[in-house]
Structure 1
Amino acid sequence: MAPPRTKDAGKPGTTRRSLLAGAAALGALGAAGCSRVATASTAHGGGLLNRLRAQGVVRLGIAGEIPFGYIDKNGELTGEAPELAKAIFKRLGVGRVQPVPTEFGSLIPGLNSQQFDVVSAGMYINPERCQQVIFADPDYQMLDSFIVRKGNPKGLHTYRDVVEKKAKFATGTGYAEIQYAVEAGYKESDILIVPDQVAGLNAVEAGRVDVFAGTALTTREVVKKSGKAEATTPFAPLVKGKPHVDGGGFAFRSTETGLRDAFNVELRKMKANDEVYRILRPFGFGKAEMTDMTAKELCRG
């Protein structure tokens, strides 16, 4: 989600679009009896954690993206971020999580307008977003990868290759890869923006584009059953001329430092005993995706 660097106003047999449709219906039912939370007090880092404990439920903003946060075929909330949220909020005294599905580009606006309490979508942490919300430390790190046609006929391995070979380039709505391509010299108005990696795969297979850029995890998962496309070797995009590794985590409203700090305490304990890895592993994350980076580092850029 993965998940993206541009300014935001974040499987087999299914698509992100259909997941969002099903999830929206579930979210509407779940939200029907629940009004928006009151505006947080800024005293002592906000009072949201105490309210969540009293209510016994936390509302998670998700974007219907496998493997980060989605509703499965049984109508259950899952994904690396929601499963981690379930474990951490239980430790914090909040026993239930409730999904609130939205488009990725609406996650930060939805959080700040109090449509949900936390963004739980594996959102990349970057300076632009850090001006709008606060983040827990990242629970994973991620490199980029391309979806290309079998055999990679144009030899596309980096954003610079895409520019130099004048390849037709696509990526997802609000994805960090937009900025990486622009920084390499690709004209932003020439980028084809599609909803997600499934649509990106379809565009490559149909020959509408030469390459779709996404996270290494989502690209390698989505091409597994494709007979026409493959994922390239993961690589670090260049930011200000230096290789950059992204990290994704949970976002909170800027007033809620108390909740963010309490969340971080539990997250660090779970990292120390490998519990984060055990939770993320079923969603395709390996040891290489585990990280000790901090939100502070990533917010600096």
Structure 2
Amino acid sequence: MRNWLGFFAGIAMVAGVTLSGTAGAETLKVGSTPTGVPFTFLDTKNDTITGVMVDIMSLVGKEAGDQVTTVPLAWSALIPSLTTGKIDAVAAAMFITPDRQKVVDFTDPVYQYGEGLIVPKSDTKNYVSFADLKGKVVGAQIGTPFLKAMQDSGLFAEVKVYETLQDLLRDTNTGRVDAAVADYPILAYQVSHGGFNNTRLVTSYKAVMPGQIGIAVQKGHPERIAKLNAAIAKVKADGRIDAVVKKWGL
């Protein structure tokens, strides 16, 4: 009898170890946009979302012991979908800003950069700042910090608001706007790979809105933030995030 009791006790101990080893594992529904090349975009060859932030989220999720499912969403739907619980996290080119921190929580930063400026190729002026664009018709994507800064500046004849970056790029390419402001790495990648042949990236422009990208999660989940931050620290320290950035040419 004692042998059988010992046998079952051993099973219980093993089961306890197994359960405790997987405690906290989650399947995370992660919102990403299909148009934010090269950070998050649709790979039409296999109909999946790919990009820098998708790769980084995959690394972080694996390190944290979580399963990651990517949910394609429009940029403007990311935070509303997160706050209403339709998704568990956002992995996109989303800056950590005070306004956003009022409604969602962010992990530690995983990447950082500033804004970029594009103009029609026929415009050869070396713009350095917003002041150089005074009186022009400019555009920016809704939900970005660049849009508010341009609207608040009072410098422009008109600030056009765009739902998608592709629409913004197309209007710049056709001359419907005089200039557009968006995330520098995305603009650089799109102009060099996206077929916008009548558009020029203004290399003389000096960014004044540098930002840091983090993974956004719904408020009220400190344990999730802590787990993701621990994973981020590991994939940063061993160079895995650097390898992703290099892979995408950034």
**Shared fold, TM over 0.5:** yes
Gap change, CA 1:80 and 1:50, over 3 Å in 2: farther
**Residues 1:115 and 2:86 are matched in the alignment:** yes
Q: 1:170-209 to 2 correspondence within 5 Å?
A: 170-186=139-155, 190-209=158-177
What's the C-alpha RMSD, in Å, of the aligned pairs?
2.1
Shift of 1:150: 1.7
Aligned position for 2:221: 256
Give the distance between the partners of 1:185 and 1:175, measured in 2 at CA.
Answer: 17
Aligned residues: 224
Aligned position for 1:167: 136
Any conservation in 1 of the 2:112–2:213 contact (CA below 8 Å)?
A: yes
Aligned position for 1:289: none
Gap change, CA 1:277 and 1:116, over 3 Å in 2: same
Q: Deviations over 1:203-229 (max 9, x none)?
A: 122111100111111111111233311
Q: TM-score if structure 2 supplies the norm length?
A: 0.82
Aligned position for 1:291: none
2:199 to 209, 218, 229: 229
Aligned position for 1:269: 234
Any conservation in 1 of the 2:120–2:174 contact (CA below 8 Å)?
A: no
Any conservation in 1 of the 2:115–2:181 contact (CA below 8 Å)?
A: yes
Give the distance between the partners of 1:235 and 1:143, measured in 2 at CA.
Answer: 9
Give the distance between the partners of 1:260 and 1:186, measured in 2 at CA.
Answer: 40
Give the distance between the partners of 1:252 and 1:265, measured in 2 at CA.
Answer: 15
Give the distance between the partners of 2:40 and 2:78, measured in 1 at CA.
Answer: 12
Aligned position for 1:146: 117
Shift of 1:50: 5.1
Rg larger in 1 or in 2?
Answer: 2
Give the distance between the partners of 2:243 and 2:206, measured in 1 at CA.
Answer: 25
Any conservation in 2 of the 1:171–1:196 contact (CA below 8 Å)?
A: no
**Residues 1:76 and 2:48 are matched in the alignment:** yes
Q: Any idea what SS the aligned residue of 1:191 has? A: strand
Shift of 1:154: 4.8
Q: Deviations over 1:221-266 (max 9, x none)?
A: 11123331110125222xxxxxx41111100111011111111111
Give the distance between the partners of 1:91 and 1:120, measured in 2 at CA.
Answer: 16
Q: TM-score if structure 1 supplies the norm length?
A: 0.69
Give the distance between the partners of 1:76 and 1:261, measured in 2 at CA.
Answer: 29
**Residues 1:88 and 2:60 are matched in the alignment:** yes
1:61 to 22, 31, 34: 31
Gap change, CA 1:229 and 1:77, over 3 Å in 2: closer
Q: Any idea what SS the aligned residue of 1:107 has? A: helix
Shift of 1:151: 5.3
Any conservation in 2 of the 1:60–1:82 contact (CA below 8 Å)?
A: no
Aligned position for 2:182: 214
Give the distance between the partners of 2:89 and 2:58, measured in 1 at CA.
Answer: 12
Give the distance between the partners of 1:277 and 1:256, measured in 2 at CA.
Answer: 28
Structure 1 portions without partners, runs of 5+:
1-48, 238-243, 286-301
Shift of 1:155: 4.2
Structure 2 portions without partners, runs of 5+:
1-21
Stretch of structure 1 that moved more, 152-161 or 140-149: 152-161
Q: Deviations over 1:22-75 (max 9, x none)?
A: xxxxxxxxxxxxxxxxxxxxxxxxxxx956x2xx52211112122222331112
